[in-house]
Structure 1
Amino acid sequence: MRRFQKLFLTILLFAPLWAVADDPHLQWMGGYTGSVVCGKCHAEEFSAWRGSHHDLAMRMATGETVLGDFDDTRFEYAGITSRFFRRGDNFVVETDGPDGELTEYDIAYTFGFDPLQQYLIGFPGGRLQTLGIAWDSRPAEQGGQRWFHLYPDESVDHTDILHWTRRSQNWNYQCAACHSTGLRKNYDPATKSYATTYTEIDVGCEACHGPGQAHAESGGTTAFDINFTASNAGEWVLEDGAAVAARTQALPERLELNVCAPCHSRRSQIAEQSPGPELLDAHRPAPLRNGLYHADGQILDEVYVWGSFVQSRMYQAGVTCSDCHEPHSLRVRADGNALCANCHAPDRYDTASHHHHGGESAGTQCVECHMPESTYMVVDPRRDHSLRIPRPDLSVKLGTPNACNKCHVDQDAQWADEAVRRWVGATNTHYAETIAAGRSMDPRSLGALSALAVDAAQPAIVRATALELLRNMPTEESLRAAVANLGDKDPIVRLTAVDIISLLPAERRGEFVFPLLDDPVLAVRMEAARVLAPVSADVLGPEQTLKRDQGLKEYMDAQKLNADTPEALANMGNLSASRRLFADAERYYLAALDIEPMWIPARVNLADLYRVMQQDHNGENVLREGLDRVPGDPVLTESLAMNLVRQGQNDEAVDLLRGLAAAYPDQVRASYLHAVALNSTGRATEALGVLETALIRFPDNPDLLVAIITISRDVGLNAQALRYAQEYARQNPGDPNARQLLQELEGK
């Protein structure tokens, strides 16, 4: 034991010292030891980890770690010819910098290794930026061993928000937390600089197990805070004659998944801490948002795997990450269908009667049908982890992808749907249709969304998605759905439900939200405080005011952690505005635009703040500057048009909305606003023409129907108004407003 302790102390005291001399970001932090120390007692796990994606997540750039061709090679993109070469021991790239001029940069670090390797370059203020040109490390016969750009179908120059020197490609903010261990971002808003540190450059043992110093010093008798052995009790057993394995003991918690999720999910960070048992104590995961996921929950953008996996029946049954992946090497535990056969009887599932394919075609492989791939970063295929049954019927209805047509590219979704129906008969209803309708803000989806939100049989992330969509349609029904979920067992559902309560007048919020100020989960607690921020201390009372203010401190701490982002600064602006601290709100919004002038939400919110402050002329300037930077942006255009209407500049406002409707013919809101603006300026006939044209494209849109009914009625076209009112009532038989409009017009 003495020899072990002496060895441990030597490594602890001296390893960081020599490493710091080479790596300016490496800094020892109390409680951590480093993976080398762990490997002294856990040699098998350490050996499996060595060479894994975690181990090679980030490296200093050396002859041993750099995979790309720096033998004076050239790569052309967007009119820029970049050159990769060596200068002594340094690896150098000559490429366009933040000003668009060719500049030579030393490569500081490698990032990843397979199937691509990226490169980090140091900038003033402690910044590391990720080069937009990457090395394809696949074998040449697979198309690799070449330089390529991560946005090959675009022309990203130095003015583009996606340029490698811009905020979106910053390592400190975007990448660092998931590629190193014990990371502290250490951003200083006053100097706009970073002093980012980590205890290990890669994803080491303590990134998942937590700090190990106490465990190592005790010779292993002191347990880690993260105890995977206890949390993963039980095993899967496939009994003779059973189709599917059963777990011998239910999981007491989802610790393993929550430790993996921070780096394998689309989320924002709200606290810097060691891995813990609750994901939402340090992160806020995204639900199935439009642009991130397809309406049926399949992965669309680069969302990694957590959001798809928690939709799956496997997750509901208690499957966890290490059931399929060896947690140190990260490799799957078996190849091909043998992996699935651990829990799914092969004589039932690995047969032609199940998969309906013959020979050794791709269709005989479980993952090709139930975990189809999507390719990201040009060369990196990743599998959807929702483990879903192929649904080409949803492709026909909604345009979502399906596994069948990923292989059968010469056929359409209708063909695939007919084949599946022949095999298995009719398919079950799916939440995809409800989510798709909610995304289009169709008021008729309100009932289905409310039912989905309170359906405990549905995955929590799906219910949270329904609640988020209900927020866009504030009604008593959506409020009831939110209230019903404030006590839900899953924090992502509670979190989304709380947000809907913010639509109520401030004085009505307390009765619903007060209990959540004591919620055990940070994300829920601070969201409750944000919702209660505008409520006066007189309404809250001393005890609740104290709890609310404690929650607001947690909320502000989370935003300050991300003060290098316009999103967090805008959040602080929104909070200040809700408390009528207008000077603070203005300062935060301007700070957000200082970091990223092209970030549109901050411009729109600042312009709206000026509206509240009766300074629409300032708001106009903010919006016009935004349109100079992002010409034609629909959100800025709409906001400017509304601003001009308030200032009496109706002609320009109508022209802007006319152009918006022409540019976005598939966006019903643009046509609706154009018609309303025309009518408000006394041009009712033109407004009716716009609405009639729009109704050809969107015949069942309730906003268009109500607008054409009311304008027709107001100008005396009662027969036309009645005709449209009858159609509106037919489409919305349960809507009291539709009945009232119809009765009123029938009375005329």
Structure 2
Amino acid sequence: MPRKRLVLFALFFLPVAAILTQCLSNKEIAATDPRGEDYTGAKTCISCHKNIDQSYIHTAHYLASSLPPDSSVHGSFFKGNDSVYYNDHAHIMMQKTDSGMYQASFINGQQVNRERIDLVTGGVKGETYLYWKENELFELPVSYDKTKSKWIVSPGFDTTIASYDRMVNLRCMECHASYAKTEPGKVASFSGESVGFDKSSVVLKIDCERCHGPGRQHAEYQFSNPDIKTAKYITRIQSLSQTQQTDLCGTCHSGTQTDNSRSIFEFKPGDKLADFKKRAASAGPPDLKHLDVHGDQLEMLKTSKCFSASKMNCSSCHDPHKKQHDEALYFAAKCETCHSNANHNLCKMTGKIDAAVLRSKCIDCHMPLLPSKAIVNEQQSVMIRTHHIGVYPDETSKILQYLKAKK
């Protein structure tokens, strides 16, 4: 090819190739999102952040809600392990068919009710299941306890007979999904006006834009400017103040006994939590007597000296993109960034027991698992790690006795 023609070809082809590349990249950006034109959806985020996604899929936030393929329903459907018995006359059997997984209730051997598992919520300590009736969501009477590897009567449900009428309200969805548009319920109710959801609007899981804010402008800019590695037009959590960060986490982790003036689905990073929800007067003061280890993590953290005497926030210890359950040494290392010889605030047990053992028990001693008053399984309180960082003499005594017995 003559040199002149080669130059002309290059001048023409390269710009066209660049345009085509940009167009192909922009196809990754979702056309619409139920939350509005400013949002782009997790699929767009994943196209650039695959490594983060591969880690995030194992977290509690990701497991907050999902559709029910076999992989997200962990209980057994095999005969002998597929039922929950209320008494000699009533039981629920878990059934799997070509049309889905069901919870069927029987009285004296006769089936009296049967509903399909349409959504799964949770996945760390256990799973609870929901079903659609018209445009309303209801909780199913059987849950799965992962700590005991067994089906159980759903927490708070009648333990004498199966019930299928516990409606799922907006407050539940606000913490178990990224979005759901409400509409008048279509199921007749004696308890007043019921809440329904537009099924096509539901965005499951806690997705990227729930915490980082609307991402369409960010995605369009980064796709159009692939050489610019600094993130534009998206909220970086580290750029928020301590209050802004804790307010963001507090949308779901500041308790359920609140008066909500606006839907949490409208909250964007940087907003003031007080503009959306406040602790209800009926809940009592925000002290340890009135707080529960389930859902009240932020309020419990605020009662801790570690919080009031520093600039710590939730992300000081947690990386929300990673599964961190039972990583005692990881969290102990976080404690050691403040508790050190230089700061003269080492644990009082330092030097009395082996350093490696002390580090491994740091969290169990100062943030132990405590019984929840809100979640009770089979008449036993679920044990959840408290976020009130403090001194627990009983826990210290248990650990010392355990260590002594090992010698």
TM-score by length of 1: 0.42
Give the share of equivalent positions with the same residue, in percent. Answer: 18
Q: Is the 8 A contact 2:138 2:165 kept in 1?
A: yes
Q: CA deviation at 1:149?
A: 2.1
Change beyond 3 A, Cα 1:106–1:355: farther
**Structure-1 residue corresponding to 2:319:** 326
**Structure-1 residue corresponding to 2:151:** 147
Q: Decide which structure has greater strand share.
A: 2
Change beyond 3 A, Cα 1:85–1:389: same
Name which of 329, 337, 345 aligns with 1:342: 337
Change beyond 3 A, Cα 1:409–1:104: farther
Secondary structure in 1 matching 2:222: coil
**Structure-2 residue corresponding to 1:415:** none
**Structure-2 residue corresponding to 1:83:** 93
**Structure-1 residue corresponding to 2:260:** 269
> In the TM superposition, what whole-angstrom CA distance separates every residue of 1:188-213 from its partner, at most 9, and x where no partner exists?
69974513454531110011011111
Whole-Å Cα distance in 2 between the matches of residues 76 and 262 of structure 1?
Answer: 37
Which residues in structure 2 correspond to 1:182-581 (within 5 Å)? Answer: 182-187=179-184, 192-196=194-198, 198=201, 200-219=203-222, 222-224=232-234, 226-231=235-240, 252-266=241-255, 267-272=258-263, 273-277=266-270, 278-286=272-280, 289=283, 294-295=288-289, 299-300=291-292, 302-316=294-308, 317-331=310-324, 334-335=329-330, 337-345=332-340, 353-354=349-350, 365-376=361-372, 377=375, 378=377, 380-390=382-392, 403-404=395-396
Q: CA deviation at 1:342?
A: 2.4
| Mapped pair 1:137 → 2:129 | no
| Mapped pair 1:49 → 2:56 | yes
Q: Is the 8 A contact 1:292 1:302 kept in 2?
A: no
State the superposition RMSD in angstroms. 3.8
Change beyond 3 A, Cα 1:389–1:131: same
Secondary structure in 2 matching 1:64: helix
Q: Is the 8 A contact 2:329 2:360 kept in 1?
A: no
Secondary structure in 1 matching 2:63: coil
Letter in 2 for 1:13: A
Q: Is the 8 A contact 2:300 2:387 kept in 1?
A: yes
Whole-Å Cα distance in 1 between the matches of residues 216 and 243 of structure 2?
Answer: 25
Letter in 2 for 1:88: D
Change beyond 3 A, Cα 1:318–1:286: farther
**Structure-2 residue corresponding to 1:114:** 124
Which residues in structure 2 correspond to 1:618-633 (within 5 Å)? Answer: none
Size of the alignment, in residue pairs?
351
Q: Is the 8 A contact 1:84 1:91 kept in 2?
A: yes
Whole-Å Cα distance in 1 between the matches of residues 298 and 281 of structure 2?
Answer: 10
Whole-Å Cα distance in 2 between the matches of residues 29 and 343 of structure 1?
Answer: 43
Change beyond 3 A, Cα 1:30–1:199: farther
Q: CA deviation at 1:35?
A: 1.4
Q: CA deviation at 1:344?
A: 1.4
**Structure-2 residue corresponding to 1:179:** 176
**Structure-2 residue corresponding to 1:569:** none
Change beyond 3 A, Cα 1:407–1:386: same
Name which of 7, 12, 15 aligns with 2:30: 12
Whole-Å Cα distance in 1 between the matches of residues 390 and 62 of structure 2?
Answer: 31
Secondary structure in 2 matching 1:329: coil
**Structure-2 residue corresponding to 1:34:** 41
Change beyond 3 A, Cα 1:108–1:353: closer
Whole-Å Cα distance in 2 between the matches of residues 222 and 153 of structure 1?
Answer: 47
Greater Cα shift, 330-339 or 261-270:
330-339
Whole-Å Cα distance in 1 between the matches of residues 211 and 72 of structure 2?
Answer: 24
Q: Which has the higher contact order (CA 8 A, sep 6+)?
A: 2
Letter in 2 for 1:184: K
Which residues in structure 2 correspond to 1:647-726 (within 5 Å)? Answer: none
Whole-Å Cα distance in 2 between the matches of residues 307 and 361 of structure 1?
Answer: 30
Whole-Å Cα distance in 1 between the matches of residues 22 and 103 of structure 2?
Answer: 45
Letter in 1 for 2:123: F
Q: CA deviation at 1:222?
A: 4.3
Bigger radius of gyration? 1
Secondary structure in 2 matching 1:45: helix
Q: Decide which structure has greater helix share.
A: 1
Change beyond 3 A, Cα 1:223–1:374: same
Letter in 1 for 2:222: G
Secondary structure in 2 matching 1:30: coil
Q: CA deviation at 1:81?
A: 0.6
Structure 1 unmatched runs, 5+: 17-26, 139-143, 232-251, 393-401, 411-748
> In the TM superposition, what whole-angstrom CA distance separates every residue of 1:528-551 from its partner, at most 9, and x where no partner exists?
xxxxxxxxxxxxxxxxxxxxxxxx
> In the TM superposition, what whole-angstrom CA distance separates every residue of 1:121-148 from its partner, at most 9, and x where no partner exists?
1223x1211223211234xxxxx32111
Whole-Å Cα distance in 2 between the matches of residues 151 and 47 of structure 1?
Answer: 31
Q: CA deviation at 1:365?
A: 2.0
Q: Is the 8 A contact 2:56 2:322 kept in 1?
A: yes
Q: Is the 8 A contact 1:368 1:403 kept in 2?
A: yes
Structure 2 unmatched runs, 5+: 1-17, 187-191, 224-230, 403-407
Change beyond 3 A, Cα 1:130–1:360: farther
Change beyond 3 A, Cα 1:28–1:287: closer
Q: Is the 8 A contact 2:145 2:152 kept in 1?
A: yes
Q: CA deviation at 1:9?
A: 3.7
Q: Is the 8 A contact 1:208 1:259 kept in 2?
A: yes
Secondary structure in 2 matching 1:92: strand
Q: CA deviation at 1:407?
A: 6.1
Change beyond 3 A, Cα 1:12–1:312: same
